Amino acid sequence: MSTGTYKPYREYKGKSLLALVPDYVAVDIETTGLDPQQNDIIEIGAIRIIDGQKAGSFSSLINPGYEIDEFITGLTGITNEMLASAPAIEDVLPHFLEFVGESIVLGHNVNFDVNFIYDNCESTLGRSFANDFVDTMRLSRRLYPEHRHHRLSDLVGRFGVGEAVEHRALADAEQTFRCYEYMKMYICKISN
């Protein structure tokens, strides 16, 4: 008998890449909790990057169909009033997927985001989310093993690339993009 936590198999999930790419879509989500099987996405934000420059953005709140708790509101600043008129996930995902296309996805601790997106694509649209992805947390751990913490807020402060992390999807996608571009420049410097 297994006592471990159930982890769903995501057959068509993209690959985690440890790569420096010029074109990608930085993605972040806000959710009602940590488990994609039990919790829901309440905000999704994405920024298209071409040759290291911003080339467009996508952002939407998502009504989960129930009231969120005070902890999530305190963490994200997203209120039940804000979500009341927001579209449902099945209305947002097709537009998000069109925006992302076949692009590599960039995120911080991006497995979290990709798993939520993958599971929601399967349950609401009947299709997989198979984009490959780059994780800035994984890259930071590889580049800076001497540092104990690699949270997005740690990287933003360490690299001096912006203000404090806001826990809003589009703002966090922006911070992740800035951190990734900083690490790409760092790698170029140490490689020469």
The residues annotated as belonging to the active site are 167
- Amino acid at site 85: S
d(CA 79, CA 103): 31
CA distance 64 to 39: 9
Greatest alpha-carbon pair distance for the chain in Å reads 54
Nearest to 83 by CA among 98, 97, 95, 73: 73
Cα distance between residue 46 and residue 60, in whole Å: 9
* DSSP string for residues in 99-113: HHTTPPEEETTHHHH
DSSP 160: T
Position 55, amino acid: A
The residue to which tokens 């440890």 are assigned: 18
